């Protein structure tokens, strides 16, 4: 090979890798501060629930993807329980766990330290929690959090308090906690495809619908108050909307068509877009929240589905279309104009999902990397640069961004049957959330 051509190709490859890395850095970040999270102790009745508290606090901070967790094997023997426990070591004396330097210096080499203790007050679980920046030169400037947290005297209460303490820590760094968010998904574990929900970490799995037919393709409103899905209640796919607070069915007008499906909510909470075959071929339509005020957005003898409205601007839409051959990822204005293809035309694209920042999308694609299987990709919509997150782990599809913009929930058959997983936006920290039955099409709501 010509040397100039060889170096040119090498330069192009490095440039592509840099573009991909920039996408991940923007969304997850590169430099991670170190935090030490020693186990806290409890007195009285609270002592029985400290295991649940400590594991939850550590897990929440670790799974956020924001911190590097200092190795517990490097912690000093002495750990402060109260702010008053810190001491200024005498000149020349070695630093201990009761001094800032004992944590800031090797072998711990952390920047942040959580500490505190739990007790009982009027039958409640009480946490006294602190966060210190141990790199500060003096104790007066080290404290970042010093707060009392209350919860029921139970494992549930201790876990709740740990989530709240972790959420306050993450908030200081501009990271949204996933505590209180839910994932809705499709499962056949009850004998028919129904909509289920679970907490963001896979706990508290509950059946939402009981239509005893095919119920699929869930979507959640931006405020988390409504969930829409497609159900074959009358033998044909129709859109159904529920309140997430009462689980009651809400009014929605379905056009007379062989198919109405794939509803997505606008960020203003007043409009929706969905796919309908009223003109024989599935095209995209806009409507009011209850299905009225219908406006056709696309037209043609091809399939347009899976529209997703930009959550930041509300002004543009990504969707899947077969207008150019195999299904690809497209973008258009909310009015249906300025249509452009985002993917290259290779393979098949599916399941787009907007990042909360409105500049990136996650989607699944068969772009030749693993023939016959979908993998998860992230694309910068403005530049069309993309990065692949899953590799050689079966079929991976239906990515949906977490509200924190750092996590993605998706479905994969990497363990055999199709199950629900989460991962960071750099493809790390993959965690399986479901095991019973076949589980797919997850969406993340507040």
DSSP 107-156: TT--SEEEEEEEEEETTEEEEEEEEEETTSSSHHHHEEEEEEEEEESSHH
With pLDDT > 90 as the criterion, what percentage of the chain qualifies? 87
What's the pLDDT band for 5 if we cut at 50, 70, 90? Answer: very low
Structure tokens at 80: 């402060």
Answer for the pair 215, 230: CB distance below 8 angstroms, yes or no. yes
For the cut 60, the answer to whether the pLDDT of residue 185 exceeds it is yes
Give me the chain's average pLDDT, please.
Answer: 92
Q: What is the per-residue pLDDT across 246-261, written as a single tens digit (0 to 9) for each? A: 999 999 999 999 999 9
With pLDDT > 70 as the criterion, what percentage of the chain qualifies? 93
Q: What is the per-residue pLDDT across 209-228, written as a single tens digit (0 to 9) for each? A: 999 999 999 999 999 999 99
Structure tokens at 434: 């479901």
Q: What is the per-residue pLDDT across 69-107, written as a single tens digit (0 to 9) for each? A: 999 999 999 999 999 999 877 777 788 999 999 999 999
Residue owning tokens 């859109």: 239
Which whole number is the average pLDDT over 378-386? Answer: 96
Q: Which DSSP helix (H) or strand (E) runs through 166? A: helix 155-172
Q: What is the per-residue pLDDT across 366-377, written as a single tens digit (0 to 9) for each? A: 986 555 689 999
What's the pLDDT band for 140 if we cut at 50, 70, 90? Answer: confident
For the cut 50, the answer to whether the pLDDT of residue 8 exceeds it is no
Which whole number is the average pLDDT over 396-423? Answer: 96
Answer for the pair 150, 126: CB distance below 8 angstroms, yes or no. yes
β partners of residue 365: 349, 375
What's the pLDDT band for 7 if we cut at 50, 70, 90? Answer: very low
Residue in 55, 228, 33 with CA at minimum distance from that of residue 131: 33
**182-445 and 34-172 share a CATH fold:** no
Of residues 392 and 342, more confidence is placed in 342
Least confident interval from 237-241, 363-367, 436-440: 363-367
Residue 50 backbone phi and psi in degrees, to 5: -70, -25
Residue owning tokens 């970042």: 144
For the cut 80, the answer to whether the pLDDT of residue 26 exceeds it is no
What's the pLDDT band for 279 if we cut at 50, 70, 90? Answer: confident
Question: Can you give the pLDDT at residue 30?
Answer: 66
Residue in 355, 252, 236, 240 with CA at minimum distance from that of residue 294: 252
Answer for the pair 187, 202: CB distance below 8 angstroms, yes or no. no
Least confident interval from 22-31, 158-167, 298-307, 430-439: 22-31
Q: Which fold has domain 34-172?
A: Rossmann fold (3.40.50)
| Sheet architecture: strand order including 439-445 | 206-207, 194-199, 182-187, 439-445
Which whole number is the average pLDDT over 375-402? Answer: 95
For the cut 80, the answer to whether the pLDDT of residue 28 exceeds it is no
Of residues 372 and 301, more confidence is placed in 301
Domain 182-445 classified CATH 2.30.40.10? no
For the cut 50, the answer to whether the pLDDT of residue 15 exceeds it is no
Q: How many helices (H) and strands (E) does the chain have?
A: 5, 30
Question: Can you give the pLDDT at residue 18?
Answer: 45
Question: Can you give the pLDDT at residue 87?
Answer: 85
Of residues 20 and 45, more confidence is placed in 45
**Domain residue spans in the chain?**
34-172, 182-445
Structure tokens at 155: 């494992």
What's the pLDDT band for 17 if we cut at 50, 70, 90? Answer: very low
Question: Can you give the pLDDT at residue 89?
Answer: 74
For the cut 80, the answer to whether the pLDDT of residue 283 exceeds it is yes
Question: Can you give the pLDDT at residue 25?
Answer: 65
Question: Can you give the pLDDT at residue 20?
Answer: 52
Residue in 378, 396, 399 with CA at minimum distance from that of residue 387: 378
Output DSSP code: residue 49.
G
Question: Can you give the pLDDT at residue 367?
Answer: 82
For the cut 80, the answer to whether the pLDDT of residue 351 exceeds it is yes
């Amino acid at each position: 090979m010509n040397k100039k051509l060889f170096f040119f190709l090498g330069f192009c490859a490095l440039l592509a890798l840099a573009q991909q890395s920039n996408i991940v850095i923007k969304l997850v970040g590169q430099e991670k501060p170190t935090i030490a999270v020693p186990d806290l102790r409890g007195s009285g009745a609270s002592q029985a629930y400290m295991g649940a508290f400590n594991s939850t606090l550590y897990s929440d901070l670790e799974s956020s993807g924001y911190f590097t967790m200092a190795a517990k094997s490097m912690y000093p023997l002495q750990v402060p329980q109260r702010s008053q426990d810190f001491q200024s070591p005498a000149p020349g004396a070695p630093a201990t766990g009761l001094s800032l330097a004992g944590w800031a210096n090797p072998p711990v080499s952390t920047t942040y330290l959580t500490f505190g203790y739990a007790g009982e007050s009027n039958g409640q679980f009480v946490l006294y929690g602190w966060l210190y920046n141990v790199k500060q030169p003096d104790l007066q400037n080290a404290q970042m959090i010093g707060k009392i947290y209350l919860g029921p005297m139970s494992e549930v209460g201790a876990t709740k308090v740990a989530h709240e303490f972790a959420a306050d820590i993450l908030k200081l760094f501009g990271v949204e906690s996933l505590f209180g968010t839910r994932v809705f998904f499709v499962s056949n574990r009850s004998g028919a495809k129904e909509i289920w929900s679970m907490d963001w970490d896979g706990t508290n799995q509950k059946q939402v619908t009981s239509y005893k037919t095919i119920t699929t393709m869930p979507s959640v409103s931006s405020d988390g108050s409504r969930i829409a899905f497609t159900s074959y209640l009358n033998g044909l796919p129709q859109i159904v909307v529920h309140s997430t607070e009462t689980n009651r069915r809400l009014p929605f007008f379905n056009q007379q068509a062989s198919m109405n499906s794939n509803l997505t909510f606008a960020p203003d909470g007043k409009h929706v877009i969905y796919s309908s075959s009223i003109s024989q071929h599935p095209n995209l339509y806009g409507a009011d929240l209850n299905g009225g005020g219908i406006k056709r957005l696309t037209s043609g003898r091809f399939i347009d589905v899976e529209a997703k409205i930009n959550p930041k601007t509300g002004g543009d839409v990504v969707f899947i279309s077969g207008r150019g051959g195999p299904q690809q990822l497209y973008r258009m204005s909310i009015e249906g104009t300025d249509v452009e293809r985002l993917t290259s035309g290779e393979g098949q694209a599916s399941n787009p999902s907007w990042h909360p920042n409105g500049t990136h999308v996650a989607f699944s694609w068969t772009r030749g990397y693993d023939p016959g299987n979908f993998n998860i990709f992230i694309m910068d919509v403005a530049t069309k640069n993309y990065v692949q997150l899953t590799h050689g782990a079966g079929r991976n599809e239906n990515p949906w961004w977490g509200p924190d913009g750092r996590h993605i929930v998706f479905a994969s058959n990497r363990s055999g049957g199709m199950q629900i997983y989460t991962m960071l936006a750099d493809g790390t920290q993959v965690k399986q959330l479901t095991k019973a039955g076949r589980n797919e099409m997850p969406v993340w709501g507040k």
